[in-house]
Amino acid sequence: MAVGPRCSKVIGKVMNYFAFGSNMSVKRLRERVPSATARGAYRLLRHDLRFHKQGMDGSAKCDAFYTGSEWDVIHGVLYTINSEEKPVLDQAEGLGLGYELKEVSVVSGQGSAISAFLYYATHIDPSLQPFSWYKQHVLVGAREAQLPMEYQAKIEAIEAIHDADHKRDQLQRALYL
């Protein structure tokens, strides 16, 4: 059953959501969507993780950038979420304000494919860098999901900048204290 032009298929009242950025962190996502349940690490083929989405705070956020190359892969976390909570996630992600929805097929470690939705960037600026607290969310999620070490190293290598908004910086980092 479809839930409108922007929504993914609904399985009962549960939707499959593929997180590849800061929402890989269970604590970060559950702050937004309490029903989020991790189903494990999955891969999105022919896409590359890019930190070039123009965030509302002026910094870079993650994007699942389609390259079409068989060599590119994004590792992330497949979650199920209650469909009634999706509008909250849409708002937090800025749906229509730099992110749009896309239905994708993601692959488990055992090779089985499953359909899920993700948010992809429409406002891109490759000159931007992520705030260090944002990069921390992404790294925490990658470690929690036990993504491949070389993939974690790729994320760690991303140059991040200091957030001049000390209150926001402290609030974001406090999630892991």
What amino acid positions are annotated as catalytic residues? 93
Q: How far is the C-alpha of 45 from the C-alpha of 69, rounded, in Å?
A: 8
- Smallest CA-to-CA distance from 103 within 111, 93, 114, 95 is with 114
| Contact indicator for 101, 7 with CB cutoff of 8 Å | yes
Is there a contact between 63 and 126 (Cβ–Cβ < 8 Å)?
Answer: no
**Strand 37-45 to 99-108 pairing:** antiparallel
Phi, psi of 163 (to 5 degrees): -90, 120
